[in-house]
């Protein structure tokens, strides 16, 4: 799968830092501490391309989505859409445009649709609100077209249904239909297939692939499944404890992982074609470590078999191992 990059990114994150203040363990008088959920995260998104973000639970993947959706304002760095600062729009029109053009697909299709509204109503609202469609015939034709695009057929019958009458996969397709009706350019898909049966995951991924290639949508695909990341995306970021540890072309990163954490992730994914299982066992604890603004060294050091004293003292620099592919490790 070749990258379809253009020179101008449609969405960009630069040096994003996100700190949260949390209660220390030990009761309400123990005070608070600052945890760093994201540290210096940067990426670019291009039309017609998917960027996968992989990592285990708690590594900051969903925090990234919430910052893009303006749920959180980043502690440092900035995100831009079409060159405009996402957290500091100059006008209401810019903000409204952002709300229209940047959308999310959620993990849970069971709660992302309003149970009181039929699919027809759910699709008609954005068409009326964002595109001013009032004419009944025009609306019907557009809804039927969207239903067919997302594979909910026969459209005339399926659009009359309510969410409880659809399967999990059909609900996710209906929600993707809503994103299409709104007319989003940039889509943050937060584990969109993880709650679906394995047999219907591929159908949803293929639908998103179609949107990417035919409609030039740009996806940020968040997942812990490196196999689907490779199937659906052109580029990948491996996130560990809020740090980008390896990033670049998805095929190169998956075939020849350079960072010990990427190697660990890939060795845990079942792959019948892999001729050699990467034998990288973890040492110490397997939970993700808590990172604070004062922490130093490599965040993966407590779990890394290659760690040396240097790794506990010095944050590794990003090294370009191939054109456009970077790894942060002191001992490549």
Residue closer to ligand SF4 by CB (options 187, 301) is: 301
Least Å from the CB of residue 239 to ligand SF4: 14
Q: Compute the distance between CA of residue 42 and CA of residue 66 in angstroms, rounded to an integer.
A: 15
Q: Compute the distance between CA of residue 297 and CA of residue 134 in angstroms, rounded to an integer.
A: 59
Task: Rule CB under 6 A: say whether 327 interacts with ligand SF4.
Answer: no
Least Å from the CB of residue 258 to ligand SF4: 10
Coil, strand or helix: which one is 196? coil
Site string for ligand SF4, 226-265 (x = CB under 6 A): ---------------------------------xx-----
Residue closer to ligand SF4 by CB (options 266, 304) is: 304
Task: Rule CB under 6 A: say whether 39 interacts with ligand SF4.
Answer: no
| Among candidate residues 267, 259, 270, 272, the one with its CA nearest the CA of residue 300 | 259
With CB under 6 A as the contact rule, the residue among 14, 72, 131, 306 that binds ligand SF4 is 306
What DSSP line would sit under 38-90, residue for residue?
Answer: EEEEEEEE-TT-EEEEE--TTSSHHHHHHHHTTSS--SEEEEEETTEETTS-S
Residue closer to ligand SF4 by CB (options 74, 316) is: 316
Task: Rule CB under 6 A: say whether 331 interacts with ligand SF4.
Answer: yes
The residue range among 51-59, 97-105, 189-197, 304-312 that interacts with ligand SF4, by the rule CB under 6 A, is 304-312
Q: Compute the distance between CA of residue 201 and CA of residue 276 in angstroms, rounded to an integer.
A: 27
Task: Rule CB under 6 A: say whether 55 interacts with ligand SF4.
Answer: no
Residue count, binding to ligand SF4 (CB under 6 A): 13
With CB under 6 A as the contact rule, the residue among 179, 250, 301, 321 that binds ligand SF4 is 301
Task: Rule CB under 6 A: say whether 329 interacts with ligand SF4.
Answer: yes
- Cβ-based neighbours of 265, under 8 Å, separated by 6 or more: 54, 55, 56, 226, 238, 257
The DSSP symbol for 21 reads E
- Rounded to 5°, angle at Cα 155 from 152 and 157: 105
The residue range among 12-20, 126-134, 282-290, 305-313 that interacts with ligand SF4, by the rule CB under 6 A, is 305-313
The values of phi and psi at residue 57, to 5°, are -55, 135
Least Å from the CB of residue 285 to ligand SF4: 14
Task: Rule CB under 6 A: say whether 283 interacts with ligand SF4.
Answer: no
8 Å CB contact between 235 and 285:
no
Cα 87 to chain centroid, rounded: 19
With CB under 6 A as the contact rule, the residue among 74, 177, 257, 316 that binds ligand SF4 is 316
Residue closer to ligand SF4 by CB (options 54, 298) is: 298
8 Å CB contact between 3 and 39:
no
With CB under 6 A as the contact rule, the residue among 43, 221, 232, 300 that binds ligand SF4 is 300
Task: Rule CB under 6 A: say whether 298 interacts with ligand SF4.
Answer: yes
Q: How far is CA 227 from CA 66, 99, 187, 202, in A?
A: 24, 31, 20, 11
Residues found near ligand SF4 in the complex (CB under 6 A) = 259-260, 298, 300-301, 304, 306-307, 311, 316, 329-331
């Amino acid at each position: 799968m070749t990258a379809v990059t253009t020179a101008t990114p449609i969405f960009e994150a630069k040096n994003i830092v996100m700190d949260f203040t949390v209660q220390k363990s030990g009761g309400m008088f123990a005070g608070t501490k600052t945890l760093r959920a994201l540290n210096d995260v940067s990426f670019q998104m291009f039309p017609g391309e998917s960027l996968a973000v992989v990592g285990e639970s708690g590594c900051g993947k969903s925090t990234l989505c919430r910052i893009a959706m303006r749920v959180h304002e980043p502690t440092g760095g900035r995100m831009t859409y079409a060159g405009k600062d996402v957290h500091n729009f100059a006008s209401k029109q810019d903000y409204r445009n952002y709300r229209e053009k940047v959308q999310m697909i959620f993990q849970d299709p069971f709660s992302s649709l309003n149970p009181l509204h039929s699919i027809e109503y759910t699709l008609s609202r954005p068409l009326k609100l964002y595109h001013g469609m009032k004419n009944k015939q025009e609306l019907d034709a557009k809804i039927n077209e969207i239903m067919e695009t997302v594979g909910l057929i026969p459209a005339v019958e399926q659009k009359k249904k309510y969410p409880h009458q659809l399967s999990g996969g059909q609900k996710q397709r209906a929600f993707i239909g809503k994103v299409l009706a709104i007319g989003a350019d940039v889509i943050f898909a937060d584990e969109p297939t993880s709650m679906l049966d394995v047999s219907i995951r591929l159908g949803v991924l293929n639908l998103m692939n179609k949107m990417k290639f035919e409609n030039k949508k740009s996806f940020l695909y968040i997942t812990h499944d490196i196999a689907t990341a490779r199937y659906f995306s052109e580029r990948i970021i491996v996130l560990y404890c809020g740090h980008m540890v390896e990033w670049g072309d998805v095929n190169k990163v998956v075939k020849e992982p350079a960072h010990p954490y990427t190697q660990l992730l890939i060795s845990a994914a079942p792959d019948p074609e892999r001729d050699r299982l990467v034998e990288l066992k973890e040492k110490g604890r397997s939970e993700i470590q808590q990172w604070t603004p004062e922490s130093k060294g490599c965040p993966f050091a407590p779990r890394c078999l290659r760690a040396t004293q240097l790794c506990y003292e010095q944050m590794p620099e990003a090294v370009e191992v191939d054109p456009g592919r970077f790894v942060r490790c002191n001992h490549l």
